[in-house]
Structure formats: structure tokens, C-alpha cells
Structure 1
Amino acid sequence: MYEPLFNYIERYARAGIADGEKDIIRSAFELKRLSKKQYFSEEGKVCLYTGFILKGAFRQYSVDDSGMEHILQLAIENWWIVDRQSYINQTPSAYFIEAWEDAEVLILPRAKLDVILTIPAIQSMFWQMSENNHIAFQKRVDDTISLNAVKRYENFERLYPQIVQRFPQHQIASYLGIARETLSRIRRPSSR
């Protein structure tokens, strides 16, 4: 059950994990199963965990005053899911994180974060993840302000084909900041 997490850590940390360190990681993380549509975290509540997805898919979103959803993140196996601001600062979340499919997640309670941060491979992994997240965020903002809807979708489809297959069009459109109807036109084979 922990092998995908260990593989992820070693891939991003580029360093091995000693057996004793694996025991620390196993004792810090817990397995959580969620049913489709079950919340991992809810708006207005503190996000208590960060989660490494073993199985399933999640979406992180906010809901505006008119009831419209705005997708912030779509995530699948071997990705992390968390409202980082709420989790780190222990403040109420502005987002919902919902299982889009039945899911299994290794969760790390905030209280155990400092324990695993004593492991050099974990420190390195979190640093690399933070760098990658920052770069991806910059690219997403740049694409949103500088590319038309067609190019945004083409880039997304090229980078994340598995997400395109697992989430409905309206959620992908929301994530990309384009209208559902526009995405429908883009995805029609005759329009490409």
C-alpha cells in the first residue's frame, strides 16, 4: 500500500529512504477511503490532511455567490491533494475537495508533518514539489492571460491526457477558465 508513496518520494527526492525512515512514514500516514462525491475537505472548515492519492480522482473547487463552481485543481493517482493554505495555517478553507471517483488516499495529519520533515528525502521531495507547483501555477496564469481557448485546451490535453479522459467537459472548461460551450466546439473533431 505504501510502495507508490515511497516510489514518489524517491523519484522527486532523487534519494533513497532508509528502512527506519519508511517506518516513520508508515506511522505518520493513514489510509482513508472515500466514496464518490464524499468530501476530503470542505469550505469553511480547516483542511486537516494532505493526501497522496493511491486510487481515484479528486477535484478542488470554490462556489461563487451565484452558485457557480470554479475548479482550482483536478487530481488523480500519484498526485497530492490539499488546501495548502488551510492545512499549513490551520485556517478555514475557501475550497471544497471532493472525491470524483471512489478513492483511496494516504493522509498525513498536520500534527505529523513536522515528524516526517526530519527525513531528508521528504524535505527534498517537498522542496521539489513546491518548485514544480510554483512553475505550473505560473504557466497556468500565463496561459490564461496570453493564450486563446483552443491553445489552452490543446496544452492541457497534451500535458494531462488522463485527466481529460476521467473528468467531464464542464469541469475541464471551468479549470481552464473557458465556457463549456467553447470547449464543446473545440473538442468536436470537425472544428480542429
Structure 2
Amino acid sequence: MYNKFISYLNGLLASPLNPEEIKIIKEVFKPKTLLKNQYFLQQGEICKLTGFIVKGAIKQYSLDEKGKEKVLGLLIDNWWVGDRESMLKNTPSSYYIQAYQRSELLIFTKEDFEEHLINQPFILEARRILFERQSLQLLKRLYATNMLPAKQRIQELENCYPDFFQKFPQHLIASYLGLTKETYSRIKSNMLKNQ
């Protein structure tokens, strides 16, 4: 479990983690298993944990006024999970974060982060890179949701995140793309006919 996380970090950083940094990681990050449908966080709770998904599939969603799920995030291997705003501001979360399939994570608390990680150079470098990537991904997603036709949104997702289609069912992918499952199914069917 730790080897995969260490490889992930080494892929981000300019130089590989040294033995002391690896020791800190193993002391601070704790293994956690989420079973299918188990919550990492529920709406109204204050987020106390952040996790790195070693293996699995997790959905982040809110409920609309009719109680229907609106998927805001689909999270898979080598992605991070948590509600940063809730954790930083100590405020109730607006989201549910739930395992779609059994998921293996490495988690840490805000207190552990502040006590052991916040000033570590490797963490500062990794956070900078991850924040840049996340900002770019959010802008790209906003653009796609607001500007691209449905077919192109599906194609973009297939190109960028093909693993989503192995880990999540069509209705979750449709919701993530801002489509009804019927619209998604119709467009996908037409795409397959035209191949």
C-alpha cells in the first residue's frame, strides 16, 4: 500500500523521497478500508480526514431539493479524497463522499498534517504541484460543462479518464457530466453505431 503511494509522490517530485521522508509518511498516513457504500464523509459533518486512494472507486455528491444525487466528483486510484474547505474552515460539509466499491486508502488528520507534514519540503512541493493540477482540471471541467455539447463531454471524459468507464456505471457518469441517464445512453448508443 505504501509502495504505491511513495511511487506516486516520487512521480510528482523533482527528486525521490529519502528514507527519513518515507519514515514520516509511514508514521502519519494510516491505512483505511471503505467497504462498498460506506461513507467517508456525510453532508453536515465536519471533514476530519484527507485520504489518498490506493485502490478503489469513490463518488462525491450532493442531493438536490428532490433528494436526487448530483455527482460532483468521481474518484479513483491515485486520487485524493476529502473536503478541503470543511477541513480548513472547520465547517459542515455540503457533500457526501461514499465508496462506490471497496476502496483502500491512506488517510491523515488535520492535526497530523499540521504537526508532522506542513513544513516538510517534499509536502510543500507536492501540494504546489497538486493545487496547480487541480486548478487546471477544475477550469477544464467548468469549460466542458458550460461550453461543450454532450457528445463532446463524453468523448473528453473517455480520453482523459478511461478508467471511469470500468469503475462506475452509466448513471453516475451521466450525472457527473450533467446529463440525464437517458440522454447519456442515447448519445453513447449513437457513438457506438458510428464507429
What range describes the TM-score normalised by the shorter chain of this pair?
Answer: over 0.9
Match of 1:91 in 2: 91
Match of 1:167 in 2: 168
Choose 81-90 or 57-66, whichever is displaced more: 81-90
What amino acid sits opposite 1:134 in the alignment? Answer: S
Q: 4+ residue runs of structure 1 moved beyond 3 angstroms? A: none
| CA displacement at 1:174 relative to structure 2 | 0.7
Matched ranges for 1:46-125 at <5 A: 46-114=46-114, 115-125=116-126
Question: Distance in 1 between the 2:141 and 2:132 partners?
Answer: 14
Match of 1:27 in 2: 27
Partner SS, residue 155 of structure 1? helix
Question: Distance in 1 between the 2:122 and 2:182 partners?
Answer: 45
Alignment RMSD: 1.2
| CA displacement at 1:48 relative to structure 2 | 1.0
| CA displacement at 1:8 relative to structure 2 | 1.3
What amino acid sits opposite 2:186 in the alignment? Answer: R
Match of 1:144 in 2: 145
| CA displacement at 1:47 relative to structure 2 | 1.1
Question: Distance in 1 between the 2:187 and 2:165 partners?
Answer: 13
| CA displacement at 1:191 relative to structure 2 | 5.7
CA contact (8 A) 1:59 1:100 kept: yes
* TM-score, scaled relative to structure 1: 0.96
What amino acid sits opposite 1:3 in the alignment? Answer: N
Question: Distance in 2 between the 1:44 and 1:145 partners?
Answer: 28
1:40 counterpart = 2:43: no
Question: Distance in 1 between the 2:123 and 2:80 partners?
Answer: 14
CA contact (8 A) 1:54 1:106 kept: yes
What whole-Å deviation, never above 9, does each CA across 1:145-187 have from its counterpart, x for those lacking one? 1110000000001111111121011111111111211110111
Question: Distance in 2 between the 1:141 and 1:9 partners?
Answer: 27
Question: Distance in 1 between the 2:15 and 2:126 partners?
Answer: 9
Question: Distance in 2 between the 1:14 and 1:111 partners?
Answer: 27
Question: Distance in 1 between the 2:26 and 2:112 partners?
Answer: 11
* TM-score, scaled relative to structure 2: 0.95
Identity of aligned residues (%): 39
Question: Distance in 2 between the 1:48 and 1:61 partners?
Answer: 18
Count of aligned pairs between the two proteins: 192
Match of 1:190 in 2: 193
Choose 182-191 or 59-68, whichever is displaced more: 182-191
What whole-Å deviation, never above 9, does each CA across 1:83-121 have from its counterpart, x for those lacking one? 111122221100000011111110011111122122211
What amino acid sits opposite 2:23 in the alignment? Answer: D
Question: Distance in 2 between the 1:33 and 1:142 partners?
Answer: 34
Question: Distance in 1 between the 2:90 and 2:106 partners?
Answer: 20
